[in-house]
């Protein structure tokens, strides 16, 4: 960036090295990247790909600098903030504003909430993957990795939750009706169509019947007649709920058919309403089958969110956590703490992606020679194929071991590698504490972008941590020298 009058060069920004907060560490890591000309040029070359094709950088209003987008994106994930918090910090944090190129002369400059959202959303998972490779290779140089030193990694997966409520078939039906009635009322008002003037009242009636069905619980009485009576009450409440909903869906379809020659905007709204009507009809069918007919709905027919449709119901068998709603993410961490690669797993299990993710990581970092896994990644095929890619595979087998396999897994080398495998759990915990506990972005693309930004931010923070520890050690040496001189003078 072209410096302005009064602006402080990024390399001259001072930090409190004794601060243990994540903001200074991340900014130190960013400064380290920025001050290395070769690495900075490579990062900016990749960042150019997020500029839309139809944007002419030489004409019109100047947009947000690529450097600022990178700083904001990584800061948001590293600190696990929403956009409102990011906006407040961007407008009031002195050191951050120096890192963004502001000075006392433009202290009144403010970032708008929508500006931050629009620019950070320009990142793509592919761009973030390429930036991560640059950051990790630079991190290896910073930490002093030898050119011929092999990489030893650990691989594990965890669940990143999507921002959804607990799904039941009746509350998903209410979601669908809410997203049908409110938009169709607004559409009818704008086009002058009758029938939805009482839309808000109708939604309240739907909610009242939904609550009635929701609050009725099955009887635990030993009296058969009481149990049957309660079951009939539950069925009647659900049927009353479905009857009202079905009548509103018929009315909504008639309204949509009455719209002739819609504009582009109205057409998009109609398509969105039709989408939620389809969701509602599916939920009506499933509720009737479950409650009235007593059928168990197959898992593959269930939807767990109308808004984050990629959400999966994941049962990992952990103590105290019966299920999680989201997607699994697999990460590979090296012996220096850097996350080499990650993969968002859609309808995939650990054993299905083991070979693929290792091959992808090997393509990015050809010095990868060893990787440890847990039992969930085991299969005979994986044992065979991973041995072709890596020099050493630490993958425990399931079930009873043969004499040869028992000897291998009881060897000191294998057991030592298994003990070190727990380090990858530390990296997963760090990711969860720095953004990857719950995805705040929408859609599958937003989910993958969110994960990619968190991985990049974590690796940059590790670089900042290394820089901070070295500065602390240097300051400690200076203090010791001064203390020795003063003691000698006495």
Which residue would you say has higher pLDDT here, 327 or 316? 327
Clarify whether residues 215 and 247 are in a common domain. Answer: yes
SS (H, E, C) 133-155: HHHHHHHHHHHCCCCCCCEEEEE
Quick one: 24 and 63 in the same domain?
yes
pTM of the model: 0.91
Does residue 322 form part of some domain?
yes
Domain final residue pick, 301, 333, 351: 301
Quickly count: other Cβ atoms within 10 Å of residue 26's Cβ: 27
Mean pLDDT of all residues in 86-90: 95
What digits encode the pLDDT tens for the residues 11-57?
Answer: 889 998 888 899 999 999 999 999 999 999 999 999 999 988 777 77
Q: Are residues 30 and 79 in the same domain?
A: yes
- Residue 68: inside a domain: yes
Give the count of domains, the chain.
3
Does residue 490 form part of some domain?
no
Question: Which pLDDT belongs to residue 490?
Answer: 61
CB contact at 8 A, 423 and 327: no
- Residues sharing a CB contact under 8 Å with residue 177, sequence separation 6 or more, in sequence order: 203, 206, 245, 248, 276, 280
CB-CB contact of 434 with 80 (8 Å): yes
Residues 388 and 451 grouped into a single domain: no
Secondary structure class of 108 (helix, strand, coil):
coil
Looking at every residue in the chain, the average pLDDT score rounds to 91
Task: Indicate the range of 198-207, 234-243, 245-254, 313-322 predicted with least confidence.
Answer: 313-322
Tell me the percentage of the chain whose pLDDT exceeds 70: 97
Name the band, by pLDDT with cuts 50, 70 and 90, for residue 319: low
Q: Are 209 and 244 in contact (CB under 8 A)?
A: yes
Q: Are residues 272 and 292 in the same domain?
A: yes
Q: Look up the domain containing 378 and give its range.
A: 149-163+310-444
- Is the pLDDT score of 429 beyond 90? yes
| 355 and 419 both lie in a single domain | yes
pLDDT tens sequence across 365-419 = 999 999 999 999 999 999 999 999 999 999 998 888 888 888 888 888 888 888 8
Query: Which of 173-177, 297-301, 410-414 has the highest average model confidence (pLDDT)?
Result: 173-177
Cβ burial 444-478 (10 Å sphere, 16+ → b, else e): bebbbbbbbbbbbbbbbbbbbbbbbeeeeeeeeee
Whether residues 80 and 156 share a domain: the answer is no
Strands 392-394 and 151-162, sheet pairing = unpaired
Does residue 262 sit in the same domain as residue 324? no
Same domain, 394 and 463: no
Residues 264, 360 share a domain: no
Interatomic CA distance for residues 206 and 173, integer angstroms: 10
Nearest partner of 395 among 381, 378, 407, judged by Cα: 378
In this predicted model, what pLDDT tens digit does every residue of 471-489 receive, in sequence order?
999 989 988 888 888 777 7
Q: Tens of pLDDT along 98-157?
A: 999 888 777 788 999 999 999 999 999 999 999 999 999 999 999 999 988 999 999 999
């Amino acid at each position: 960036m072209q410096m302005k009058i009064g602006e402080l060069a990024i390399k001259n920004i001072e930090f409190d090295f004794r601060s243990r907060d994540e903001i200074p560490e991340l900014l130190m890591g960013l400064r380290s990247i920025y001050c290395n000309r070769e690495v900075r040029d490579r990062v900016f070359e990749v960042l150019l790909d997020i500029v839309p094709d139809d944007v002419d950088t030489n004409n019109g209003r100047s947009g947000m600098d690529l450097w600022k987008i990178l700083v904001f994106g990584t800061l948001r994930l590293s600190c696990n903030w929403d956009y409102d918090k990011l906006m407040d910090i961007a407008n009031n944090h002195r050191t951050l504003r120096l890192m963004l190129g502001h000075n006392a002369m433009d202290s009144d400059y403010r970032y708008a909430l929508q500006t931050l959202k629009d620019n950070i959303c320009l990142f793509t998972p592919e761009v973030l993957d390429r930036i991560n490779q640059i950051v990790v290779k630079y991190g290896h140089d910073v930490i002093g990795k030898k050119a011929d030193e092999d990489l030893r990694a650990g691989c594990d997966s965890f669940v990143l939750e999507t921002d959804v409520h607990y799904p039941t078939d009746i509350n998903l039906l209410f979601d669908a009706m809410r997203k049908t009635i409110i938009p169709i009322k607004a559409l009818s008002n704008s086009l002058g169509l009758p029938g939805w003037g009482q839309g808000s009242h109708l939604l309240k009636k739907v909610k009242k019947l939904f609550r009635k069905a929701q609050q009725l619980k099955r009887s635990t009485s030993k009296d058969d007649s009481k149990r049957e009576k309660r079951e009939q009450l539950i069925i009647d409440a659900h049927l009353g709920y479905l009857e009202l909903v079905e009548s509103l869906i018929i009315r909504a379809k008639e309204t949509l058919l009455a719209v002739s020659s819609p504009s582009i905007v109205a057409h998009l709204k109609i398509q969105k309403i039709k989408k939620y009507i389809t969701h509602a009809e599916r939920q009506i069918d499933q509720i009737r089958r479950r409650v009235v007919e007593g059928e168990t709905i197959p898992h593959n027919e269930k939807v767990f969110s109308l808004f984050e449709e990629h959400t999966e119901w994941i049962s990992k068998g952990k103590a105290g956590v019966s299920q999680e709603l989201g997607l699994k993410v697999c990460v590979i961490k090296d012996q220096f703490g850097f996350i080499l690669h990650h993969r968002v797993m859609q309808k995939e299990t650990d054993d299905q992606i083991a070979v693929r993710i290792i091959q992808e990581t090997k393509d990015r970092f050809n010095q990868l020679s060893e990787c440890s896994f847990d039992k969930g990644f085991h299969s005979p095929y994986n044992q065979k194929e991973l041995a072709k890619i890596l020099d050493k595979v630490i993958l425990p087998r399931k079930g009873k071991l043969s004499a040869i396999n028992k000897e291998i897994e009881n060897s000191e080398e294998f057991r030592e590698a298994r003990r070190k495998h727990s380090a990858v759990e530390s990296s997963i915990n760090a990711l969860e504490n720095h953004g990857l506990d719950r995805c705040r972005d929408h859609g599958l693309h937003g989910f993958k972008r969110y994960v990619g930004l968190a991985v990049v931010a974590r690796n940059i923070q590790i670089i900042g941590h290394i820089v901070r520890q070295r500065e602390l050690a240097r300051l400690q040496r200076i203090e010791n020298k001064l203390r020795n001189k003063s003691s000698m003078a006495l």
